[in-house]
Structure 1
Amino acid sequence: MPKILPAAGGDVVEIILADHRWFEEALRELRDVQSDRAAVLADLATVLIAHAEAEESKVYPALRRKDAIDADEVEHSEREHDEGNEALLELMEVDDTSSEEFSSKLHELSEALSHHLDEEERDVLNPARTDISEKVRRDLGDSFSEERARLIESDCGDIANVRKIVKG
């Protein structure tokens, strides 16, 4: 299992991309019947929730203010976070990690997450690369990393918190 990436400043685009690659590795681990699926899922839940919440509170508003993305793109990305959170919760609620139900719910999460990562990389991160200065991306990277770390420290991936987020 990949270790949870530490909070480190730098270009927000690179930090987000590193998380995306981490999510893909965690999903691969979850597909492996010999892995400690419960432990991998707990780590994935924590990082996924922290990542999405930090994007919504720090990154999307800043990119919107700089006109790198519009309100529709923000709404679309947030809706995809909601869908991912719902799929994550459904997977977390499966008791038997070796069951067919776990595999099915994992597939649903993987589909939702892969779709979102693809769209975000094309429709949010590309404009951030081209329309936002390096200094702003670095400042935003610091802000995103600090919020992400704070959320991870608060155990944001706990199932009770994921339920609260999904219920909105």
Structure 2
Amino acid sequence: MATDVVELILADHRRFEELFRELRDRSSDRSALLVDLAALLVAHAEAEESEVYPALKRYRGVEDEEVDHGAEEHAEGHQALLALMEVSDTGSEEWESALEELVEALNHHVDEEERTILNAAREQVPDDRRAELGRLFQEVRQDRLDDDCGDLEYVRKIAKATADRID
């Protein structure tokens, strides 16, 4: 179904992977790609945390600890994203290293979220509720994208605001 929240989240995860492949290509416009990644990453995380995660905690079979851990990993991702955005020379070793830190943090989160939270949601949450959550996820995600949530100052703000979630 086109609005199934699980499918929408998975589609974003695949887009993150595409952006990472493109960002690793030294001949690409890394600055423009980073703008795209930052916006999508922040909008995705904020939509999950505002609409999806709280709803999933209401279902037996979806572990609250896994959902809380997902939010912690979003905070780690925000920190890694900020570190990358603050390196101005996209051809430097510092930039390459910061990119790999972000890739590692995001790949870890995506893998865990897909194996635990999303698999449980697919099994425990009825189709109509997943569709409703998908519509809410898309709405919040688009609102955040429209508000330029990938802007460096906003990423600094959310990285600071979520730093206390990191163990």
TM-score range, shorter chain: over 0.9
Flag structure 2 segments of 5+ consecutive residues without an equivalent. 162-167
SS of the counterpart of 1:65?
A: coil
- How far apart, CA to CA, are the structure 2 residues paired with 1:48 and 1:153? 14
- CA deviations on 1:82-131 (whole Å, 9 max, x unpaired) are 00110000000001000010000000000000000000000110001000
Query: % of aligned pairs identical?
Result: 58
User: Which of 2, 9, 14 matches 1:16?
Assistant: 9
Q: Which residue of 1 aligns with 2:60?
A: 67
8 Å contact kept, 1:68–1:132: no
> What CA deviation, in whole Å up to 9, does each residue of 1:44-75 have, x standing for no partner?
00000000000000000011112342321122
Q: Hey, what does 2:27 align to over in structure 1?
A: 34
| Residue of structure 2 equivalent to 1:163 | 156
User: What is the correspondence of 1:15-164 to structure 2 with a 5 Å cutoff?
Assistant: 15-164=8-157
Name the Cα RMSD after superposition. 1.2
Q: Supply the distance in 2 between the matched residues of 1:10 and 1:68 (Cα, whole angstroms).
A: 22
Count of aligned pairs = 161
Give the 4+ runs in structure 1 shifted more than 4 A: none
Structure 1 residues not aligned, in runs of 5+: 1-8
Deviations 1:5-56 (A, max 9, x none): xxxx610000000000000000001000000000000000000000000000
Task: Kindly state the Cα deviation for residue 141 of structure 1 after the two structures are TM-superposed.
Answer: 0.3
TM-score (norm 2): 0.94
